Chain A
Amino acid sequence: DVKVTQSSRYLVKRTGEKVFLECVQDMDHENMFWYRQDPGLGLRLIYFSYDVKMKEKGDIPEGYSVSREKKERFSLILESASTNQTSMYLCASRSLGKETQYFGPGTRLLVL
């Protein structure tokens, strides 16, 4: 079974703080993704990575950056957290050439 883990299930941060969300997958998948889920908006892609040290902007990259130094780990960074970044953050991974993405349990972030 594919396992995607995220470092925290719940986080509370202050406006202006730098926030790190970590994601690890154990299936040697090349592709990894970060989404946020908001009510009525579905899942929106923030950033994705085809392979180590490669990254591409998704649909809503503003205010975020990412890092992929190792194949199994994909980090999402909120440079200066704002209240409009309060959301559920979901990480996913996928094997090259396959369409199905496998998701982690999510991190619910509250920015005060």
Chain B
Amino acid sequence: DQQVKQNSPSLSVQEGRISILNCDYTNSMFDYFLWYKKYPAEGPTFLISISSIKDKNEDGRFTVFLNKSAKHLSLHIVPSQPGDSAVYFCAASARSNTGKLIFGQGTTLQVKP
């Protein structure tokens, strides 16, 4: 049972345009969400997070939106740069339940120059 789903395995955008990566979850107990970025042969690095008490969090070019009623979150990257090309994982946790992170399958983003 996949509790966190990233339904798009890949996404290709032009440099300078917006990248939108999507993530859906099924467990209503999740109350904290994170995005990680992973380059090949490296470990994931933390990008941005959001608590369920918010619906938006922004950090530079990265913004995460949370729609609790739809159990959906998205990561917006504006403007996209070639260095953003990587695999992006969303993750969710229920802090009342040990705080374990449940990861999605990942979306490979390619930003073309």
Q: What is the 8 Å Cβ interface bit string for chain A, positions 92-104, against chain B (1 contact, 0 not)?
A: 1010000111111
Q: Tell yes or no: B70 within 8 A of A by CB.
A: no
Tally of A interface residues using CB under 8 Å: 25
Alpha-carbon distance between A36 and B38 when the two chains are bound, in angstroms: 14
Known A42-B104, A42-B106; judge A99-B99 contact (CB<8 A).
yes
A68-112 CB contacts (< 8 Å) to partner B = 90, 92, 94, 99-106, 108
A36-68 CB contacts (< 8 Å) to partner B = 40-45, 48, 56, 58
Least CB distance, A62 to chain B, in whole angstroms: 17
Q: Tell yes or no: A4 within 8 A of B by CB.
A: yes
Tally of B interface residues using CB under 8 Å: 25
User: Is there contact, CB below 8 Å, between A99 and B95?
Assistant: yes
Determine chain A's interface SS by DSSP, over half rule: strand
List chain B residues, Cβ under 8 A from A104. 43
Alpha-carbon distance between A104 and B46 when the two chains are bound, in angstroms: 12
List chain B residues, Cβ under 8 A from A102. 46
User: Is there contact, CB below 8 Å, between B49 and A4?
Assistant: no
What residues make up the interface of A, taking CB atoms closer than 8 Å to B?
A: 4, 9, 31, 35, 40-45, 48, 56, 58, 90, 92, 94, 99-106, 108
Closest CB pairs A-B (n = 9): A103-B43, A43-B103, A42-B103, A42-B105, A105-B43, A103-B44, A99-B32, A106-B43, A104-B43
